[in-house]
Amino acid sequence: MTATVTQVLDGLVAALQSIGVRAYARPADITAAPCAFVLLEAVDYQNAFQMGNPRMEFTVTVIASRTSDRNAYERLSAAVAPFGAGSVRAAIEADRTLGGVCLTLLVQRADNVRMISQGDADYLAVDVAVLVHA
């Protein structure tokens, strides 16, 4: 059985919530940091013969904190760490099948560290790339 995009989104959101991050399967206003938004970037249908094993690429945007917060970089560092209590990679890869929804997944990289603004507030954010074999 091939996973649907919604099933994978729900699985990624649940994994992120396991480390205490408010996670959303669609863009939303920043309610309170830390939070994360999971966005579908691409679907590759032709990854195997007869369209088996489609690949889905997702971007998890982690918003660590306001940039004026003294702990912003520490929270961001924990989020991009390869392991640890606040690690996005460790949380997502703890169950590479997302509860049996997909075949496997891989957290590929963290990049695009930047400031984002919403309203009168600036936040520190990073993107985490996730490849899912559905």
pLDDT at 82: 95
Q: Burial level of 1, CB count in 10 A (0-12/13-18/19+)?
A: exposed
Give the 3-state secondary structure of 24-44. Answer: ECCCCCCCCCCEEEEEEEEEE
Q: Cα–Cα distance between 41 and 24 in angstroms, integer?
A: 15
The pLDDT value given to residue 47: 66
What does residue 105 show for φ and ψ, rounded to 5 degrees?
A: -150, 165
Q: Is 46 a residue whose pLDDT tops 70?
A: yes
In this prediction, residue 50 has a pLDDT band, given cuts at 50, 70 and 90, of low
The pLDDT > 90 percentage for the chain reads 62
**Looking at the domain 5-133, which fold is it?**
STM4215-like (3.30.2000)
